[in-house]
């Protein structure tokens, strides 16, 4: 089993031994470190933190431990209960809180959970801050509050509605146009909190909703990562119900993928492409995605007269570059939409509203919309890591092998740009693996390129 400590938080499997898994002791220890950092950052107080969770089975236990640790620090807690990652992000500044904690392991299976940490803006912590919290956790230099200074927990279940209201108020969200199209949409929420939020948003937009796996009990009916191989039920349901399209979100609702009216994948990479195309058509500007995202966003951005730039992988890195470049839209190719007009965080709910607004304006089917964009095929693979593997050495060897003949970027792992394709190799921040992403102008070429580098890595590693 696994416990991964990184600058973005702590993630692991439930049960097992302290320090090797996400046990109650580990959850309290890391929450205590975050509370200690927050009190040092804001020495004058009073202190307030927003806490919410997805629906996985361990969520209630971990949330109780985290909230009571905050109470012990003298920090008041706004308890959102079952919520979404973007909802918690928006609630932090709305509450004038100093921070937030989201309890979710995102796309990982139900045996995983995690503490994701936010700053006072409702944005993920930067690398420097995350590293300082890890140091506090390691030294266990905690100072808790006296009995008369303990924090209070205040439940508040209104923020999903507030989140939806803020989306409906966006100038580019055209609820009247969406309603006039009488869209029928199938929603797969993998039995997590998207089952609460997504149907509520769609009904507010005047959309007929067919709910699939929308009971928030944390019993994921399939692998919760929104990839084609996991979405057979949704594809079949879209065709069976003669729906216009299907939406699927991950357990914490920050990744969005689309299925077209024929039951085919629109492609999670193209979620951002389509939304960006719509936003750029109304508000010209620049875009940002990460190094592992499709070239199609760059193509669309240039067509609309803007400039595209790529950041290191990770939401905090994308957000940082978006701010530096004043990008009007950005995100990650895993279906993560970041729309600064609402907030700087990946948000499936605003992605849904903007996608449907786009669809209503152009008056074409989802499959026709996909066909209107440059075609690229992507392959996503991984190689499992062993304890003694020198990952940095492997990456350096790969970079040196290709840098004389190809364009090589080592900002985040190694990305090699070929004339009609690219490969990006990087160590995952959330799993003990090396991710291998490739893109080319045909699926066969993307798959062949991926296999080539899987074999190169294994040969170099001796596995």
Active-site residues, by number, are: 106
Query: Strands 414-417, 407-409: parallel, antiparallel or unpaired by DSSP?
Result: antiparallel
Element (H, E) at 460: helix 443-461
What the block records as the tokens of 401 is: 């092998």
| DSSP conformation letters of 239-264 | HHTT-SEEEEE-TTS--EEEE-TTS-
Between CA 445 and CA 183 the distance in angstroms is 36
CA-closest candidate to residue 5, choices 391, 433, 314, 430: 430
Q: Where are the alpha helices (DSSP H) in 55-188?
A: 59-72, 85-94, 127-139, 159-168, 175-180
CA-closest candidate to residue 114, choices 11, 251, 220: 11
The distance between the two most distant Cα atoms of the chain, rounded to a whole number of Å, is 67
In contact, 22 and 28? CB cutoff 8 Å? no
Question: Which residue is it, tokens 């030294």?
Answer: 139
Between CA 47 and CA 51 the distance in angstroms is 13
Across the beta sheet with 336-338, what order do the strands follow?
Answer: 308-311, 287-290, 329-332, 336-338
In contact, 207 and 229? CB cutoff 8 Å? no
Q: Give residues with Cβ within 8 angstroms of 377, minimum separation 6.
A: 439, 440, 441, 442, 443, 445, 446
Question: Which CA distances in Å does 29 have to 32, 53, 66, 68, 368?
Answer: 5, 18, 9, 12, 51
Signed CA dihedral, 66, 67, 70, 72: sign only? negative
Between CA 228 and CA 193 the distance in angstroms is 21
In contact, 335 and 256? CB cutoff 8 Å? yes
- Give CA torsion, residues 444, 448, 449, 455, to 10 deg: 160
CA-closest candidate to residue 271, choices 370, 195, 200: 370
């Amino acid at each position: 089993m696994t416990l991964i400590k990184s600058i973005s938080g702590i993630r692991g499997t439930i049960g097992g031994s302290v320090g090797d898994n996400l046990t109650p002791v580990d959850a309290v220890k890391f929450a205590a470190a975050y509370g200690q950092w927050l009190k040092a950052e804001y020495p004058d107080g009073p202190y307030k933190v927003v806490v919410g969770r997805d629906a996985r089975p361990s969520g209630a236990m971990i949330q109780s431990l985290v909230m009571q640790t905050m109470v012990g620090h003298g920090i008041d807690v706004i308890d959102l209960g079952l919520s979404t990652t973007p909802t918690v992000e928006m609630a932090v500044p709305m509450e004038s809180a100093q921070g937030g904690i989201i309890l979710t392991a995102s796309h990982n299976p139900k045996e995983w959970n995690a503490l994701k940490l936010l700053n006072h803006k409702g944005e993920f912590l930067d690398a420097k801050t995350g590293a300082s919290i890890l140091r506090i956790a390691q030294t266990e230099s905690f100072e808790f509050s006296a009995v008369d200074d303990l924090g209070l927990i205040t439940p508040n279940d209104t923020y999903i509605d507030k989140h939806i209201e803020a989306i409906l108020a966006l100038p580019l969200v055209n609820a009247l146009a969406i309603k006039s199209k009488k869209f029928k949409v199938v929603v797969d929420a993998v039995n997590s909190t998207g089952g609460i939020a997504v149907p509520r948003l769609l009904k507010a937009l005047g959309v007929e909703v067919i709910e699939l796996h929308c009971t928030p009990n944390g019993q994921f009916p399939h692998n919760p990562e929104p990839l084609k191989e996991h979405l057979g039920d949704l594809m079949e349901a879209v065709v069976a119900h003669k729906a216009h399209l299907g939406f699927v979100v991950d357990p914490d609702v920050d990744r969005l993928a689309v299925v077209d009216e024929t039951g085919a994948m629109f492609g999670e990479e193209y979620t951002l492409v389509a939304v960006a195309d719509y936003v750029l058509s109304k508000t010209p500007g620049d875009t940002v995605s990460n190094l592992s995202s499709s070239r199609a966003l760059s193509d669309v951005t240039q067509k609309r007269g803007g400039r595209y730039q790529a950041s290191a992988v990770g939401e905090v890195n994308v957000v940082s570059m978006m701010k530096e470049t004043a990008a009007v839209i950005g995100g990650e190719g895993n279906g993560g939409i970041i729309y600064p007009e609402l907030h700087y965080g990946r948000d499936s709910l605003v992605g849904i509203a903007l996608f449907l607004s786009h669809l209503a304006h152009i008056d074409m089917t989802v499959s026709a919309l996909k066909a209107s964009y440059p075609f690229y095929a992507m392959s996503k693979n991984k190689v499992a890591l062993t304890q003694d593997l020198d990952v940095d050495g492997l990456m350096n060897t790969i970079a040196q092998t290709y840098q004389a003949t190809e364009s090589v970027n080592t900002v985040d792992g190694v990305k090699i740009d070929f004339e009609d394709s690219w490969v990006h190799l990087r160590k995952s921040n959330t799993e003990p693996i090396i991710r291998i992403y490739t893109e080319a102008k045909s699926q066969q070429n993307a798959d062949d390129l991926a296999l080539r580098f899987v074999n190169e890595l294994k040969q170099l590693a001796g596995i």
